[in-house]
């Protein structure tokens, strides 16, 4: 499945809501749910820097809070970057809690510069899913 223009565009739009006065680095994320709905998130920084929440986790928490747990794809937009920025290690771990390894990922700093991969590629040798059952 190719990630649609619509999903990346939703991520791009979500970056406009970024609260990033410290890094001035806006990030937007958009999750495609199994029912076809799209839920977005953005990075929310804090003056205690370590409490910053990335866009990917922000979107995931919003989606689960809205009753979704079946996810197909995620798009991430980093409009302030000079290259396509991939999710950080913490976000990769959190995404694998719900996203299957074959879920599609796309990240880009502009619509015409996007990298496409899968959750499994970002987080190989993922483990311990049996703890949830
Ligand atoms: N950030 C994200 O939201 N997602 C990423 O994948 C990389 C980093 C945010 C955290 C912080 O607000 C800013 O980008 C700079 O690190």
Encode pLDDT of 63-116 as tens digits. Answer: 999 999 999 999 999 999 999 999 999 999 999 999 999 999 999 999 999 999
Reported as a pLDDT band with limits 50, 70 and 90, residue 133 is confident
Q: 133: CA distance to ligand 1 center in Å?
A: 31
pLDDT in tens, 44-57: 999 999 999 999 99
Question: Ligand 1 in contact with 23 (CB < 6 A)?
Answer: yes
pLDDT for residue 87: 98
Contacts (Cβ under 8 Å, ≥6 apart) of 72:
1, 32, 33, 34, 103, 104
Q: Is 56 a catalytic residue?
A: yes
- Name the residue with the closest Cα to ligand 1, atom 1: 54
For the chain, list the strands marked E by DSSP.
28-33, 38-42, 71-77, 104-110, 113-118
Contact between residue 3 and residue 73 where contact means Cβ atoms under 8 Å apart = yes
43 has pLDDT over 60? yes
pTM: 0.96
Q: Provide the pLDDT for residue 2.
A: 59
User: How many angstroms does the Cα of residue 67 sit away from the middle of ligand 1?
Assistant: 25
**CA neighbours closer than 13 Å in the CB half-sphere of residue 115:** 13
Q: Do the beta carbons of residue 45 and residue 21 sit within 8 Å?
A: yes
């Amino acid at each position: 499945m190719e990630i649609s223009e619509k999903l990346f565009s939703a991520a791009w739009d979500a970056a406009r809501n970024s609260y990033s006065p410290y890094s001035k680095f806006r990030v937007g994320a958009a999750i495609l749910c199994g029912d076809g709905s799209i839920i977005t998130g953005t990075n929310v920084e804090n003056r205690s820097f370590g409490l910053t929440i990335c866009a990917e986790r922000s979107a995931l928490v919003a989606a689960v809070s809205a009753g979704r747990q079946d996810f197909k794809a995620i798009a991430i937009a980093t409009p302030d970057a000079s290259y396509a920025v991939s999710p950080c290690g913490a976000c990769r771990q959190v995404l694998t809690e719900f996203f299957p390894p074959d879920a599609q990922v796309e990240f880009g700093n502009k619509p015409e510069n996007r990298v496409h991969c899968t959750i499994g590629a970002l987080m190989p040798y993922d483990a311990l899913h049996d703890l949830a059952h």
